[in-house]
Chains A and B, each alone.
Chain A
């Protein structure tokens, strides 16, 4: 049986599998951030005046803000003036009408990622809104969705085609001055996805976006807005990989969800961005603000995330349970390997009566990875008979990693019932021995145990994602035998 030292070394020596750079001509803004750059982005995207004003107000608010330091992560200071805030493939002006017109290099990138777009169109009902850097280059299944009245398009298209919806909902869940990174995003967001599900419609397919960070020195500032009208249902998938590079890249996205009465939104993420090399050089900074508002009665928002990538992950998908009987869920698997750091968790704010929330968080640390769960459950005085169940389990693989749990529980209503449990463990020698004894080699045994550890989260993922997530986890922890 390999010793712990062997396995840590094996783990540390694993290179990023999806590291490559695609050479596509860029139409890039000069690095730096100013009101001119924001005006340039806005003009480039042909935005209405109100949106430019909105951006500028966010920017002015951001200037007064101080970068937060409270997270349990360490990283080099970010020079916000050296980032390019806009990069679009040149083909933007004459948008391709079909896949044939798309730059073969872009298509090749997708091939390497294992998502052949051509096949994807035909495949199991997944509509892909592929975001290549900041501008959507291909959207499929639009017509089929349009028949039902579902709007699924890039954010910039939504600004052009559905300004009334964008204006009504933009910034209602994550205000433009919510926090440092959200304000930055509000000022410079380039593109993202927009989803609108009309009343009573059950979206017939999983909506999916593949993000791809590609241009050197380009921060990605995605903005996603999903609105589910009364009685509707939507399942949204977000997944990503990024090419290898040496400079840290900042990714500060904002995701806003609004669920009206009886509506359900299921938001799943598989995140596999470049985590940096084994010395911790390079890698993505993933500072994301994700928040859902259960506006109507009996609405439900469910976050599922599998976080295996990024050098630094700092995000807390949250639910504000305003409607009576609304439900919030958070399922998370976060893996930090080598020198990765993750400070992630959720925030459940119970406002309405009989609201309930569930938090299942699984953190896996290996190598010198640091994994932090930080979550808040807040039950306000108005939340009669609110219910929360939280479970945060950590698994440590190797003796140089760390697992941290910081739950904050604030209850102001005696009828609330809340439970929090957490445990930390490693893969037991007896468990490995048990498997070995039955002819399962150590590697497979670890994979099996880790999969079992994460099962509660994986089963919340849509099928396609569950497979990918399991594969990712296996790759991430290859050779790590406890």
Chain B
């Protein structure tokens, strides 16, 4: 066991050797790598990870992604109009392609000018110090710890008190792996480039901001790279933070992300996670409702085909009274795709009058697809309203019949219903260019690889 663990964690520990130390962030990095070293990678006996097969990632040797310059306009297809943007290629800031927002603090973490910033000293890595949450029973999140220890660059955003940003800020994480990733056994790469994008958003009192994260590959056919992002959101009292996480990695990519949000009094955090690409994708979210009246919305959509795997693990902690949370995750699975939904609502004893709702709906389009759904409630307060619901099934036969009785062909009727099912999530996007993009992606992924839909 230990020797196997050493060969797996060893290469990652080696990557740490080159990372900067010193300052509060340096100390947190040191702490994170120690926690990672002590915990190692999770195995199949680990409850939170037993349904995620990390084998393909751990078998490949990690190589730090090189910050490559992108050709002129290389990032353009991914950028939205009417939007401020910060572009990262292989985890490194590309200032030429970016148009950073004004009136707010926004800088690259690699920028030495920002190194002494109070924002970093106070917040960066303070919540994602390797622990999945502040609760005693939550263990170390090894990948969050890895990111804290190993990130080279990223974004720090500070929204001043009372400022409402009109334009969304798009953070584009573009992966452009070198083509010489050697293939190993079973088609899995023997080595792969790994990047650790890092995002910090600090919204001061009564501020408003919208952040769009886009994970994409410069070449959609690229394979065998590993993105291990982490994001921290610190939502001050009365702030409103909207967050969209669009994951459109290349088909062969591995993506294991971690997000952490801490909400102060009457803060609102609204996050949508949309997963389209990648071979193995996992997204863990922890939200701490740490002030009265805080409100948290976590929505998600995963559209999978082939042998894709997507896991969404959420932990929403209600720590103060009168907090509300909503989760709606929907999945469409075709081919041999597999999905895991693992949502946990944790209501502390102090969090009376909590209102929490959690919903997971899965649509299976093929016989070989597999959906796992584990909606979980842990409640220690008595005056609460907590509900969860989960469904897994195929399209409603009656709805299909209704459409066909009106002269709509099977394929078309089928497509309409699947679209209607998925659009409940994409329609929530209020920023028009984003919504159109999501619709286009949804359309492409639903119609791209339909192999064996239900026969008529």
Q: Which A residues fall within an 8 A CB radius of B?
A: 70, 381, 394, 396-426, 482
Whether the pair B454, A402 counts as a contact (CB closer than 8 A) is: no
Whether the pair A418, B393 counts as a contact (CB closer than 8 A) is: yes
Q: List 27 A-B contacts (CB under 8 A).
A: A381-B367, A394-B377, A394-B379, A396-B381, A399-B381, A402-B380, A404-B377, A404-B378, A406-B376, A407-B374, A407-B390, A408-B372, A409-B372, A410-B371, A410-B372, A411-B393, A412-B369, A412-B370, A414-B365, A414-B369, A416-B364, A420-B373, A421-B389, A422-B386, A422-B388, A424-B387, A426-B383
Whether the pair A418, B392 counts as a contact (CB closer than 8 A) is: yes
Whether the pair B374, A409 counts as a contact (CB closer than 8 A) is: yes
| A392 → chain B closest CB, angstroms | 9
| B326 → chain A closest CB, angstroms | 15
Contacts of B372 in A (CB 8 A): 408-411
**Highest count of chain A CB atoms <10 Å: which of B372, B382, B389, B391:** B382
Partner of B387, one of A403, A406, A408, A421: A421
> Given the known A-B contacts A396-B379, A405-B388, are A413 and B374 also in contact in the complex, defined by CB atoms under 8 Å?
no
In the assembled complex, B451 has its CB within 8 A of some CB on chain A = no
Bound-state Cα–Cα, A59 to B370, Å: 37
In the assembled complex, B352 has its CB within 8 A of some CB on chain A = yes
In the assembled complex, B30 has its CB within 8 A of some CB on chain A = no
Whether the pair A399, B387 counts as a contact (CB closer than 8 A) is: no
Minimal Cβ-Cβ distance residue in B for A417: B393
Give the dominant DSSP class at B's interface: strand
Bound-state Cα–Cα, A99 to B390, Å: 54
Whether the pair B377, A424 counts as a contact (CB closer than 8 A) is: yes
In the assembled complex, B375 has its CB within 8 A of some CB on chain A = yes
Contacts of A414 in B (CB 8 A): 364-367, 369, 393-394, 454
Minimal Cβ-Cβ distance residue in B for A401: B382
5 closest A-B pairs by beta carbon, nearest first, are: A414-B364, A396-B382, A411-B392, A405-B377, A409-B373
In the assembled complex, B185 has its CB within 8 A of some CB on chain A = no
In the assembled complex, B362 has its CB within 8 A of some CB on chain A = yes
Contacts of B349 in A (CB 8 A): 399-400
| B200 → chain A closest CB, angstroms | 33
Whether the pair A405, B376 counts as a contact (CB closer than 8 A) is: yes
> Given the known A-B contacts A407-B375, A414-B366, A420-B373, are A482 and B393 also in contact in the complex, defined by CB atoms under 8 Å?
no
Whether the pair A411, B379 counts as a contact (CB closer than 8 A) is: no
Mark out the residues of chain B between 268 and 319 whose CB falls within 8 Å of any chain A CB in the assembled complex.
none
Mark B343-376 against chain A: 1 for CB-CB distance below 8 A, else 0. Answer: 0000001001000000000101111111111111
Whether the pair B388, A399 counts as a contact (CB closer than 8 A) is: no
Bound-state Cα–Cα, A419 to B381, Å: 26
Q: Which B residues fall within an 8 A CB radius of A?
A: 47, 349, 352, 362, 364-394, 454
Contacts of B394 in A (CB 8 A): 414-415, 417
Contacts of A404 in B (CB 8 A): 376-379
> Given the known A-B contacts A404-B378, A411-B364, are A418 and B391 also in contact in the complex, defined by CB atoms under 8 Å?
yes
Minimal Cβ-Cβ distance residue in B for A379: B392
Contacts of B366 in A (CB 8 A): 414
| B348 → chain A closest CB, angstroms | 10
Contacts of B47 in A (CB 8 A): 70
Whether the pair A424, B389 counts as a contact (CB closer than 8 A) is: no
> Given the known A-B contacts A399-B382, A412-B370, A414-B367, are A422 and B362 also in contact in the complex, defined by CB atoms under 8 Å?
no
Minimal Cβ-Cβ distance residue in A for B45: A70
**Highest count of chain B CB atoms <10 Å: which of A394, A398, A420, A482:** A420
* 15 additional A-B residue pairs with CB within 8 Å, beyond A396-B379, A399-B383, A414-B394: A394-B379, A396-B384, A397-B382, A402-B379, A407-B375, A408-B372, A409-B374, A411-B364, A411-B372, A412-B370, A415-B394, A417-B393, A421-B388, A424-B384, A426-B382
Contacts of A403 in B (CB 8 A): 377, 379
| B338 → chain A closest CB, angstroms | 9
| B397 → chain A closest CB, angstroms | 10
Whether the pair A416, B374 counts as a contact (CB closer than 8 A) is: no
> Given the known A-B contacts A402-B378, A402-B380, are A422 and B389 also in contact in the complex, defined by CB atoms under 8 Å?
yes
Whether the pair B362, A411 counts as a contact (CB closer than 8 A) is: yes
| B243 → chain A closest CB, angstroms | 27
Bound-state Cα–Cα, A417 to B379, Å: 28
> Given the known A-B contacts A70-B47, A414-B367, A414-B369, are A420 and B389 also in contact in the complex, defined by CB atoms under 8 Å?
yes
Contacts of A482 in B (CB 8 A): 382
Bound-state Cα–Cα, A397 to B454, Å: 48
Whether the pair A416, B393 counts as a contact (CB closer than 8 A) is: yes
Contacts of A408 in B (CB 8 A): 372, 374
Bound-state Cα–Cα, A426 to B391, Å: 25
Minimal Cβ-Cβ distance residue in B for A427: B382
| B299 → chain A closest CB, angstroms | 19
Contacts of B376 in A (CB 8 A): 404-407
Bound-state Cα–Cα, A412 to B394, Å: 11
| A147 → chain B closest CB, angstroms | 48
Contacts of B389 in A (CB 8 A): 419-422
| A416 → chain B closest CB, angstroms | 6
| B7 → chain A closest CB, angstroms | 26
Whether the pair B385, A410 counts as a contact (CB closer than 8 A) is: no
Contacts of A409 in B (CB 8 A): 371-374, 390, 392
Contacts of A421 in B (CB 8 A): 387-389
**Highest count of chain B CB atoms <10 Å: which of A402, A411, A420:** A411
Bound-state Cα–Cα, A482 to B388, Å: 23
Whether the pair A424, B379 counts as a contact (CB closer than 8 A) is: yes
| B107 → chain A closest CB, angstroms | 43
Bound-state Cα–Cα, A418 to B393, Å: 6
Bound-state Cα–Cα, A419 to B361, Å: 9
Bound-state Cα–Cα, A422 to B386, Å: 8
| A270 → chain B closest CB, angstroms | 26
**Highest count of chain B CB atoms <10 Å: which of A381, A420, A424:** A424
**Highest count of chain A CB atoms <10 Å: which of B384, B390, B392, B454:** B392
Contacts of A422 in B (CB 8 A): 375, 377, 386-389
Minimal Cβ-Cβ distance residue in B for A394: B379
Whether the pair A420, B375 counts as a contact (CB closer than 8 A) is: yes
Minimal Cβ-Cβ distance residue in A for B384: A424
Contacts of B386 in A (CB 8 A): 422-424
